[in-house]
A = this chain, B = another copy of it.
């Protein structure tokens, strides 16, 4: 049983974590190469993770002898082009979400993948691999809540008082395209991939005035209607005080499931002068670390053993498409028909 020879592109904050995960918790993979334009990051991969080949460019990585697959943790603007190049080079591809901020690029990726049907392409909608989300999906599948018809979902980030992210706002696609695609994907997942028909959204700049220059928000709410009387309500925030919170609630005719109602960091409760309390996951990474491991293992298993994958390129395209409609609603201050 040979291990999958994987190369990683991107060794930034999340890239470094994915690299470490590949090196320590994905037993059927071997992290044989990495690429990063940053010399210090390449040195870190070599020294800390023992990665044998560390390149400055993606082209070099793709050319690494014997490479089976690439893991892309690069800027969103690079995803589509890099996926298509990797497919052309005969590699399997795991890419961080979203496929692209552009619907056309999403479709180009779908077409390229269709031409390389033997190669696996997985976009990292990580909640699909999270034990709690999977438990909820299993419960829905087993009819625990009857017929699901509504999803309420939010992605809330802890406020970064430095406002560092404001610099990247002009290329992020807007708060809903940047953050809510996870919620959109979760809504579609739990509502049976229903066809979206209408979107409405609004929001505000509560804290980071610098966002005004590019028309972005730091807090927002969106409603998406799907065919068959199903609908979703999505909230996004970059200004929470307590930590990162990814919550999804699925309402069915016989009950309701709530995933992540309390974003507790550990199983510890503190009773002190502040009351009874628990600390919260500071970032999405502490929340989804096990899901990231499961996701990479599922990708490797899909390649090696034809293992099942819970999310398709079409799912990823739909998340972008709905996200674009939501952003348009913010601009037009009216409901947008999909």
Contacts and interface: CB of A to CB of B under 8 A. Distances in A.
Contacts of A64: none
Which bracket fits the contact residues of A? 35 or more
A277 B280 contact: no
Given A206-B253, A240-B256, A259-B266, 20 more contacts: A1-B50, A24-B25, A25-B27, A131-B266, A135-B279, A147-B206, A149-B204, A152-B235, A198-B333, A200-B200, A202-B225, A202-B231, A242-B271, A242-B272, A255-B272, A257-B269, A261-B269, A276-B277, A276-B278, A290-B290
Nearest to A255: B272
Interface string A140-174: 00001101011010000000000000000000000
Contacts of A230: 204
Closest A-B pairs by Cβ, 9 of them: A277-B277, A204-B229, A255-B272, A132-B267, A242-B271, A24-B27, A132-B266, A256-B271, A200-B200
Interface string A272-290: 1111111110000000001
8 contacts: A25-B25, A132-B267, A200-B335, A202-B223, A203-B231, A255-B272, A261-B261, A275-B278
B242 A223 contact: no
A139 interface: yes
B271 A135 contact: no
Contacts of A264: 276
A255 to B, nearest CB: 4
A253 B239 contact: yes
A229 B212 CA distance: 12
B135 A268 contact: yes
Nearest to A246: B267
Nearest to A203: B231
Contact of A268 (B25, B136, B274): B136
A270 interface: yes
Contacts of A269: 257-258, 261
A241 interface: yes
Nearest to A256: B271
A275 B279 contact: yes
A205 interface: yes
A221 interface: yes
A265 B23 CA distance: 28
A237 interface: yes
| Max count, chain B CB within 10 A of own CB: residue among A144, A152, A273 | A273
A165 to B, nearest CB: 16
